C-alpha cells in the first residue's frame, strides 16, 4: 500500500487534480489492481468535490481552473481504466 505518491490514495488524487502529478501509462505500472481501484475511487470523490464548486459566471479564470482540474481527473481515470483492462 506504500506505492501512492504523497502517502495516500486521496492525497495522490488531489495532487493529480491540481496538476502536481502528471499521469501516463507508466505511472500506474507499479500499482496493483486493488490500489488502482482505490485510487479510482478517490479520484471520483475529488471529481465530485470539483464539480460541486461553482465559480461565478464572470470569473473566467476560476472557470478555466475548474475545467482543467476536471480534465486532469478524467484523463487519470481513463488511464487507470486502461491499465486495469490490460491486467
What is the per-residue pLDDT across 41-65, written as a single tens digit (0 to 9) for each? 999 999 999 999 998 888 999 999 9
Report which secondary-structure segment, H or E, holds 69: helix 60-86
Rounded to two decimals, what is the model's pTM? 0.89
Write down the pLDDT at residue 36: 95
Task: Give Cα separations from 76 to 19, 31, 68 (angstroms).
Answer: 11, 14, 12
Q: How many CB atoms lie within 10 A of CB 6?
A: 14
Write down the pLDDT at residue 2: 60
Distance CA 23, CA 49 (A): 20
Q: What average pLDDT score do residues 25-36 get?
A: 92
Phi and psi based region of residue 31 (left: phi greater than 0; alpha: psi -120 to 50; beta: remaining): beta
Amino acid at each position: 500500500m506504500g506505492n501512492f505518491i504523497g502517502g495516500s490514495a486521496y492525497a495522490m488524487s488531489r495532487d493529480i487534480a491540481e496538476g502536481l502529478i502528471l499521469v501516463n501509462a507508466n505511472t500506474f505500472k507499479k500499482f496493483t489492481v486493488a490500489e488502482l481501484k482505490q485510487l479510482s475511487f478517490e479520484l471520483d470523490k475529488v471529481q465530485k468535490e470539483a464539480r460541486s464548486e461553482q465559480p461565478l459566471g464572470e470569473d473566467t479564470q476560476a472557470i478555466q481552473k475548474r475545467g482543467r482540474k476536471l480534465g486532469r481527473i478524467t484523463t487519470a481515470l481513463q488511464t487507470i481504466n486502461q491499465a486495469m483492462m490490460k491486467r
